[in-house]
Structure 1
Amino acid sequence: MHEARDSTRRGYSADFSFSTADVSLLHSDMAADGQAIISSDHALLDLCVTPRPVNMRGSFAGTWDGHRFEPLGDIIFVPPGYPLHLRWDGNGEQYSIRCELRGKLARHRFRNRMDWTEARLLASLDISSHSVRLLLRRLAEEARSPRRDTRLLVGAIATQLTVELSRYLEFVTDNMAHGGLSAWRLRLIDERLEKETVPPTLVELAGLCSISVRQLTRGFLKSRGCTLGQYVHQSRIDAVKRLLATQESIKSVADAVGFSSTSSLAQAFRRSTGLTPRSYQQRIWRSSGSGHS
């Protein structure tokens, strides 16, 4: 995997190379008050399955002003030829899935055809696509436990991932002026999700935005490239991650986020992250040196 500099790769656990994609399962030791640069000749995706370091943010070197650093989501995309500068505070461990898309289709879509506008670069720092998330997890599972026809399957997944990601990024700019929600409505939705962990209903969000449920769902899809249900679900999982870092009881976390039982929480959490709530919690405690067992 070609990268210019990236101190986050220290301590990575495994690399798997295929003709259409390189997949890395990373366990990184993040230095305090760190900086790094991620750069690649290929389209690069990174899915962080544990919380990113405190105040982690990124800037596209040579494209943005040197003082501009934007916050990162749990999935980031680094376009070919666009080095990403990272900064963060504090230290700790980070587990992530990293994938370079190396096929001809990826080169054509992301290097030759894609117009890297300001809006697309900004969207690359927080890829909120449910499809992209599931495909990255599927790639990691196949790489971790290769079986008969793994290379064939990885090629198919990489192709689908390329198509889903390019559609998502093309959608960002093309739909901002065609029926998407206004910035203030998107902000109201985000504020509601941050304020209360129990998920809102569509009726509640529509009332908050002073529009119909149909206008809400259609406009949100055009603005964010994913359904409102997928977005709310991921926000809920993010809330679970935050609570697991501070509370020992899985049941109290399930109650706080509105799951009917610990088993339903575990099922949703594992489907999204590949980890059980308890194993995720133990990783967080180990990395923080909290001494929990």
Structure 2
Amino acid sequence: MPMERGSVAEFNVDAELPMAMGRVRVVRQSWAAPIDNMAVTPLHHLELSLLPRSDHARACFPAHWGPHRFEPIGELFLFPAQQLVHAKSDCRHQNSISFDFDPELMAKWVDCNPEWTDKRLRACLDIVSHDIRNLLFRIGEEARAPGLAARTMIELMAMQAAIELSRHILNIDEEKAIGGLSPWRLRLIEERLTSDITPPTVTELAAMCNISVRHLTRAFRVSRGRAIGSYVLEHRMNHAKKLIETGMNIKSVAQAMDFTASSNFTAAFRRATGETPRDYRQRVSRSMARPLAHIH
């Protein structure tokens, strides 16, 4: 993306495939200082982080939110075309798969240009879709080890990812966020989830916010556009990822995460991330240690 101002990154493109609809790239980036960038892209920029994303990664759409509102960035996110984005993070290294594509394709395929409302912009920063995530991951795997008709395969998966993304955006509930949680309650929940590896119950969070469980579950969905249970699980799996990255064996990670059996932890991790804990460890190790193949 063209940068207007911000931190300078060491940028290495390990694989790149220009297509009629846009471009797929597998890249490695390093920063010597905390990220503080502002960018505008003429294309939709969809990105999947292959290494753990910092808990402090945040982004703002200043033209819509003003300069001071920042929301968390997940491992799968979209920066919409022609939208100024201000991103901050203490990340130092990242490997990722990105797909930049023409915004006119969205109008062509789904017969609609989405309005970039508050809820849609917020949801773009943390896309919860196993289908889109798995498509980008498969594109990256094909880039690492190109097989028969790799270019055609990648183009087809990229097109499917763009269509799935279009559906995802258009299906975001656009009702006004009336009756959502107050900012201080959302902040309390976020602090509890990031500071303690033990997952809280909904009852605990409701008591902490001094509201009923029923009120919490309804208001959280209005504020965040998702169920609080899935949000807690995501944070729990993020804690697990960090433990896996330290080299701790899977059984010990399961015990630390308060699972009664390793098999239960593996099943929960796979449901949440699309891969097993062992597969995750191997992918992170491979991404850190091995340069990727180019597609010609």
| Contact residue 7 and residue 35 of structure 1 kept, 8 A | no
Identity among equivalent positions (%) equals: 27
**Count, aligned residues:** 273
Q: What are structure 1's unaligned runs of at least 5 residues?
A: 288-293
Counterpart CA distance in 1 for 2:287 and 2:235 is 19
| Contact residue 247 and residue 253 of structure 1 kept, 8 A | no
Report the CA distance shift for 1:205/1:89 in structure 2 as closer, same or farther (over 3 A): closer
**1:290 is matched with which residue?**
none
**2:2 is matched with which residue?**
4
Q: So what's the TM-score if we normalise by structure 1? A: 0.71
Counterpart CA distance in 1 for 2:190 and 2:95 is 26
**1:81 is matched with which residue?**
82
Q: Which amino acid aligns with 1:278?
A: R
Q: Which amino acid aligns with 1:158?
A: A
SS of 1:180's equivalent in the other structure is: coil
**1:47 is matched with which residue?**
48
Counterpart CA distance in 2 for 1:16 and 1:269 is 31
Report the CA distance shift for 1:90/1:102 in structure 2 as closer, same or farther (over 3 A): closer
Q: Following superposition of structure 1 onto structure 2, how do residues 1-293 of structure 1 map, counting pairs within 5 Å?
A: 3-5=1-3, 8=9, 10-20=11-21, 22-34=23-35, 36-52=37-53, 56-60=57-61, 68=68, 70=70, 72-74=72-74, 75-89=76-90, 91=92, 93-102=93-102, 104=104, 106=106, 113-115=114-116, 121=121, 123=122, 126-127=125-126, 129-131=127-129, 134-142=131-139, 144-145=141-142, 150=153, 151-168=155-172, 171=174, 174-177=175-178, 179-209=179-209, 210-213=211-214, 215-246=215-246, 248-269=248-269, 272=273, 274=275, 276-279=279-282, 282=285
Counterpart CA distance in 2 for 1:181 and 1:33 is 31
Higher relative contact order (CA 8 A, sep 6+): 2
Q: Once the 2 structures are TM-superposed, how far is the Cα of residue 19 of structure 1 from its aligned partner?
A: 4.7
Counterpart CA distance in 1 for 2:55 and 2:157 is 36
Q: What do residues 137-179 of structure 1 show as CA deviations (whole Å, max 9, x unaligned)?
A: 32331463377884445433321211213433x63xx3312x4
SS of 2:253's equivalent in the other structure is: helix
Q: Which amino acid aligns with 1:51?
A: P
| Contact residue 30 and residue 53 of structure 1 kept, 8 A | no
Q: Which amino acid aligns with 2:138?
A: E
Q: Once the 2 structures are TM-superposed, how far is the Cα of residue 236 of structure 1 from its aligned partner?
A: 0.9
